[in-house]
Amino acid sequence: MTARTTALAAALVAACGLTACSSGAAAETTVELTATDSSCEVARTELAAGHTTFAITNDGSKMTEVYVYGKSGDAFTRIVTEKENIGPGTSYDLTVSLQPGTYEIACKPGQQGDGIRQEVTVTAQGEAVADPKADAAVAAYRTYVQEQADAVVPLVDEFAAAVKAGDVEKAKSLYAESRVPWEAVEPVAESFGDLDPRVDLREADLEAGQEWTGWHRIEKALWTDGDLTGMAPVAHQLARDVRELQSRVPTAEMSVASIGNGAKELLDEVATGKITGEEEAFSHTDLVDFQANLDGAKKAYDVLRPLVSDEDLLAELDAAFVAVQKQLDEHRDGDTFTSYDSVTEAQRRELARVVDGLGEPLSQLTAAAV
């Protein structure tokens, strides 16, 4: 977990739009947020626009998640940022860039359901001025996300065609590759409310009455059933859903804070899904996803690097990324990776060790860049 940070932010206003701005005067905005099994207490419900750090403490007995939701239409469904896997008795600092408006903070004890919610209001403060470095970082990252969103469409189309044709072996051969661009930019996809569950929900995370669609539904049919009967509509919907991602990237809200948080979210995906083998429970193609998550986190780091003045942190991050890539490369098999069910427990522990070694400095990236 990160140490509590200080001197966090400069104010932003609505004129900043979809890029990044800073104000002429620095503002420190840290808000205590206490989560329990039955409550979600935000110390302040009126905030100034700009960078806010929620100092989260989980005083409950269950693992929890904290989400910041913005409005999409009349409903609070747009995910501005999130932090999953906050263990009992632990703390985490979540920095977010907020523009004027109304938001909801949600704590999700047990990491399920819509959460216990608290509404907060953000008002304008100060006069925004351009920050060229921040604007350039956001623009570069948006270009990267658009490239990945464009790339996933033809890959999924080819995969979907094989599924619709009932060609099990061809669909198996295309499955992992079709997921790579999505895995690289998944935090952006997650910001679009229900898009991520439609596309990437695992069977283990299904809630009562929830329809199971997307890649993992087809994955189970391929590797467990060996039969694609009934999967054509699922494949058709998957192709439509990735097109939705492609169309929404140009207007997606992005900021320095969301890019930094996204990098850490991608590494958390590795730690909680890929290292454990839970993500690709049927195909065991977890290491392909691992590489895509790592590539996405590295891109986010690269675009934010010019904003970070802490040379020690940069050196630590550079070395940690190299260490993770080196360990991952140990499991290459030609142009892809070995099946994850052949990776020994000792090897998994070594992968977890280097991922943890990257996770600590990466958790400091957002605060260092804003």
- pLDDT tens for 87-136 read 999 999 898 888 899 999 999 999 888 899 999 999 887 555 568 999 99
Contact 44, 53 (CB under 8 A): no
Q: How many structural domains compose the chain?
A: 2
Query: CA 204, CA 302: separation in Å to the nearest integer?
Result: 34
Q: Domain of 168: which CATH number? A: 1.20.1420.20
Express as a percent the part of the chain with pLDDT over 90.
75
Residues 274 and 348 in one domain: yes
The reported pLDDT for the residue numbered 127 is 53
* One-letter identity of residue 221: A
* Residue 22 reports pLDDT greater than 50: no
The range of the structural domain enclosing residue 39 comes to 9-130
Amino acid at position 339, single letter: S
Does residue 344 share a domain with residue 244? yes
Are 291 and 333 in the same domain? yes
Residues 100 and 168 in one domain: no
Question: Three-state SS across 107-138?
Answer: ECHHHCCCCEEEEEEEECCCCEEECHHHHHHH
- The rounded distance, in Å, linking the Cα atoms of 271 and 189 is 19
pTM of the complete model: 0.82
Q: What is the mean pLDDT of the chain?
A: 89
Shared domain for 126 and 198, answered yes or no, is no
Give the sheet arrangement for strand 91-98, strand by strand: 40-42, 30-35, 50-58, 91-98
Under the banding of pLDDT at 50, 70 and 90, the label for residue 84 is confident
For 281-326, the pLDDT digits (tens) are 999 999 999 999 999 999 999 999 999 999 999 999 999 999 999 9
Which of 85, 106, 130 is the C-terminal boundary of a domain?
130
Domain boundary among 72, 97, 130: 130
pLDDT tens digits along 162-202: 999 999 999 999 999 999 999 999 999 888 878 999 999 99
Whether the CB-CB separation of 284 and 341 falls below 8 Å is answered with yes
Q: Does 1 fall in a domain?
A: no
pLDDT in tens, 85-97: 899 999 998 988 8
Q: How confident is the model at residue 28 (pLDDT cuts 50, 70, 90)?
A: low
Q: Does residue 4 sit within a domain? A: no
Task: Please give the C-alpha separations between residue 366 and each of 67, 70, 133, 310, 362, in angstroms, as whole numbers.
Answer: 17, 20, 15, 12, 8
Residues 183 and 321 in one domain: yes
Angle between helices 286-304 and 256-269 (to 10 degrees): 160
CATH number at residue 108: 2.60.40.420
Tens-place pLDDT, residues 213-272: 999 999 999 999 999 999 999 999 999 999 999 999 999 989 999 999 999 999 999 999
Last residue of a domain, one of 130, 165, 180: 130
* Residue 3 maps to a domain: no
Q: Each residue of 145-161: pLDDT tens digit?
A: 999 999 999 999 999 99
